[in-house]
Amino acid sequence: MAEVRIPIGPQHPALKEPERFMITVEGETVVDADIKIGHIHRGIEKLAETKTYVQNQYLTERICGICSFTHTTNFCQVTEYVLGTDPPPRGLYLRTLVNELERIHSHLLWLGVAGHEMGFDTLFMYSWDDREIVQDILEHLTGNRVNYAYNCVGGVRRDITDAQKQMIIRGMDALLERMDYYVKVALNEKTILKRTQGVGILTTEDAKRLCAVGPRLRASNVKVDVRKDDPYAAYGELPFEVITSDTLDVHAQVVVRALETVESIKMCKYMMQNLPAGEIRVKVPKKVGPGEATSHTEAPRGEDIHHLRANGTDKPERLKVRAPTLANILNVQHTLKGANIADIPLVVAGIDPCMGCMDRVLIIDKDRETSKVWEKEELRKYSIEWYEGEPHR
């Protein structure tokens, strides 16, 4: 049978964010997949070099809309490493608390999206309803639902009141009950099992070889979690399990994420019962360095890295950001091969892709010169030039 190439994206009903897949199919089976990213570059790395450290706290928050707090944690940590500052324990606990609340809301969001991709919208509706519990807590605690502006170099910006503590404990109890139910649904509901079992299998060897991160790696039965391996903030003092699964498919990812949410809920309760007293932040100088440091954290989607080089002024010399989705793109490309066309959205959704997070480096969205309306002759000329010249350098 002849091979057919299908372009999917950059704008496509099956995708939530712009990226382009070039899928080669034979009948219903995908034989090759090619991914082009970079449609939503915003130039944050370059921009960070022109902003002060105070401003960068809020700029790094805008790298991602869902896992914004993990990026600010990373940025604040990396600056603290260069400065040699240790935030007070209460500040670290509160930072960890928001990190875990963010993981709960991100995983519930993913559960809904995955449900939606497999045509199980009931799950989507209910998991997003339960997500509102976390969102309300975050709004009360930080003052906003998504971009919390809660972190700062040297600690966190707001203290927690007793009423908020009680609200978190009550909310976590309610969520724990709901999560037990979702775990039951994930393990027993036929709609989920039929769409996810045996789909998007990534073996342990391939996951390691292609440097997968986060829940995708743990669903391939590799016990790696930055929170455990390289503890940051208050994670060294918290009891929690690293969840893995040995079924390697999309269903393994559903289970890993559901059980991870349960662990996070327990951690939040533990932190509320064992919150140390004292200050929440220390004052830090505005000028940083010279020096360099690397910080990595476990974002809801996997390992997230910031590397900072400071030159002694109030602006960074270079800030490098690697968001987890870029690391997971390779294994999507690999697992798509051999999948059915109908499974593409689910395999892609499986890694919980966050294109906005990944595409952060450049300024370009469209070249001004090429955005004007072209006459037919100009277009022909352009196409000849494009093929004759060396556009790919």
Partner 1 sequence: MTTQEMVQKLTGSLGAMVDSVESPKERRVYINTKRENLLGVVKHLKEQYGAYHISTITSFDNGDELELLYHVFIDTTFMSIRVKLPKSDPTVNTITPILPGAVLYEREISELMGVKVKGHPDMRLLLLPENWGNKGFPLRKDWVDPRRPEPPATEGGDA
Partner 2 sequence: MKTTGVMIPTLLGRISKKPVTVLYPFEKLEVPPGFRGKIKFHLDKCIGCGMCAKDCVSAACIMIEKDDKKRPIFDMDKCTFCGQCEESCPKDAIEMTEEYELAHLNRGEVIVE
Binds 129, which of partner 2, partner 1, none (CB < 5 to 8 A, cut-off by type)?
A: partner 2
DSSP 289-315: -SEEEEEEEEETTEEEEEEEEE-SSSS
Task: Kindly state the smallest distance separating residue 306's Cβ from partner 1, in Å.
Answer: 10
Q: Is 45 in the site for partner 2 (CB under 8 A)?
A: no
- Residue 32 interacts with, from partner 2, partner 1, none (CB under 5-8 Å by kind): none
- Comparing CB distances to partner 2, the nearer of 196 and 220 is 196
Q: What per-residue string of b and e applies to 64-89 under the rule 16 or more CB within 10 Å gives b? A: bebbbbbbbbbbbbbbbbbbebebbb
Instruction: State the Cα–Cα distance between residues 61 and 100, nearest whole angstrom.
Output: 16
Partner that binds at residue 147, options partner 2, partner 1, none, CB closer than 5 to 8 Å by kind: partner 2
The amino acid at residue 39 is: H
Is the separation of the CB atoms in 232 and 76 below 8 Å?
A: no
CA 197 to mean position of chain CA atoms = 24
Answer whether 358's CB lies under 8 Å from 305's CB: no
283: contact with partner 2 by CB under 8 A: no
CA proximity to 142, closest of 22, 245, 280, 260: 280
19 — alpha (psi -120 to 50), left (phi > 0) or beta? beta
To partner 1, the closest distance from the beta carbon of 50 in angstroms equals 6
**At its nearest, how many Å lie between partner 2 and the CB of residue 190?**
4
Shortest distance, position 128 Cβ to partner 2, whole Å: 9
Q: Which of 32, 139, 230, 292 binds partner 2 (CB under 8 A)?
A: 139
Residues that bind partner 1 (CB under 8 A): 36-38, 41, 43, 45-46, 49-50, 52, 81, 208-211, 224, 229-230, 293-294, 296, 303, 305, 307, 309, 311, 313-315, 317-318, 320, 322, 326-327, 329-330, 359, 361-364, 366-368, 370, 386, 389, 391-393
Closest CA to 300 of 65, 76, 142, 141: 65
What is the contact surface with partner 2 in residues (CB under 8 A)? Answer: 51-52, 54-59, 61-62, 122-123, 126, 129, 132, 136, 139-140, 143-144, 147, 149, 157-158, 181, 184-185, 188-191, 193
